[in-house]
Amino acid sequence: MKIQSVEPIEVAAPADELSSPWSSTVILVRVTTSNGAVGWGEAPTTLMTHPVRESVREVGRFYAGHDLSEHAACLREFERYSFYRSRSMEATSALSAVDIACHDLIGRELGTPIATLLGGAVRDRVRAYSNGWYSDAIAPEEFAEKAKAMVRQGFRALKFDPFGDQYRTLSPEGLQAAIDRVGAVRSAVGAMVDLLIEYHGRFLPEAAVRAGRALDAFHPRFMEEPVIPELSDALAEFRRSVRTPVALGERLLTAADFESFLRRGLVDILQPDITNSGGFSYGREIAGVAAAYGAPVAYHNAFGPVQTAATLQMDATLPTFFLQESFEASWPEWKRSLVRGYAVDSGEFAIPKKPGLGIEVVESAVEKYRSDMVDPIGPEPPWVIGGTWVRRHLGSARRRR
């Protein structure tokens, strides 16, 4: 069974839908074999939709024409040729999507879920935390009301970014606004719900420490990416100064990256992203590093449903699983329509047990939302939850085609 084609497919929000910039596009990858079997993967976007799409074509050249059983050798050959792979998010994202699709195909061919291929599942359900729930929230009471809505749906862990438009530095007013928002959420949901504070890697070290010390009072479960990534050595001082554990990993691409952060004492909780850190092939290596250090793993999962399905298969096998990120409760309908086969219920995912990824990609929906759109820009950066920097208005088109 030979790999016949590797096809990147961009899907995007319909023109009349107001979406957060990060959720407006999805890159799916369809790998088709010589006997017509199809496997699916996904790659992240976030202001790199078209570069990733084109990188999939580059990666595909190393797979097309090879037997499916040779997929690991194809990956290593791409490694050999791709000079900047270890520092290229575009290259590793494309490689991840193709690797996920190959595993999906093998699981389908053998009639077993991917978790079995990885050594076997050790759990059949995972606890999820909700993200994306606080769109269009600026005032503390808006955060509080939206948080309560998520708790009513069964979530017992909520992640959110309380820092508004603060960037690099943090003004006294900006810090007080963050304190007020986190305090309002804590008061609204009580002590038994985990609060996870998202910094989005936006602050210089002094500002990050100041925020961390202030927000320690609300007993968050972790603080994510508190400092600008290129200043990651400052995380050592952050960990000494702030009681709350540090989580990060969505911008790390290799097992060696994760090992370096753990060895240098810069992180407590790992957050790899299966769609940019080498799919399942590298995912097993990262899981081994986490297990060797006893580090909890909470996979980053911010894009589309194929990503979620792949991540759940990985979660099923992790010896140090911690929490699973979920945007599903806040997704627009177009994104929900792309896949069938899994759901988040009362704050938990059941691991799909059907072959491969355990899902059905609805190809009619993929075709309906197929697009050539580039990532929208402004008035907020593409990594924020829409409406948390500035008030949004329906009908304000921010797309460039």
Nearest-5° Cα angle at 251, 242 to 374: 130
Give the neighbor-by-neighbor strand order of the sheet with 3-12: 3-12, 25-33, 38-43
Tell me which amino acid residue 209 is: V
Cis peptide before 379 (omega within 30 of 0): yes
- Dist CA 393 CA 376 (whole Å): 15
Beta strands in 52-154 (DSSP E): 125-130
Hey, what are 250's tokens? 């969505």
- Residue 203 is classified by DSSP as B
User: Exposed (0-12), middle (13-18) or buried (19+): which is 372, by Cβ within 10 Å?
Assistant: exposed
Q: Decide: helix, strand or coil at residue 247.
A: strand
- Dist CA 9 CA 27 (whole Å): 6
Of 50, 71, 300, 393, which one is the catalytic site residue?
Answer: 300
The answer to whether 286 and 258 have CB atoms below 8 angstroms apart is: yes
Q: How many CB atoms lie within 10 A of CB 329?
A: 17
User: What are the CA-CA distances from residue 179 to residues 162, 201, 211, 215 (Å)?
Assistant: 8, 18, 9, 7
As a dihedral over the C-alpha atoms of residue 107, residue 110, residue 111, residue 116, rounded to 10 degrees, the angle is -60
Q: Is position 300 annotated as part of the catalytic site?
A: yes
Percentages helix, strand, coil for the chain, rounded to the nearest 5? 40, 20, 40
198 bridge partner residues: 224
Q: How many CB atoms lie within 10 A of CB 87?
A: 11
Q: Is position 200 annotated as part of the catalytic site?
A: yes
Half-sphere exposure of 99 (CA within 13 A, CB side): 27
Of 50, 103, 200, 219, which one is the catalytic site residue?
Answer: 200
Active site residues: 200, 300
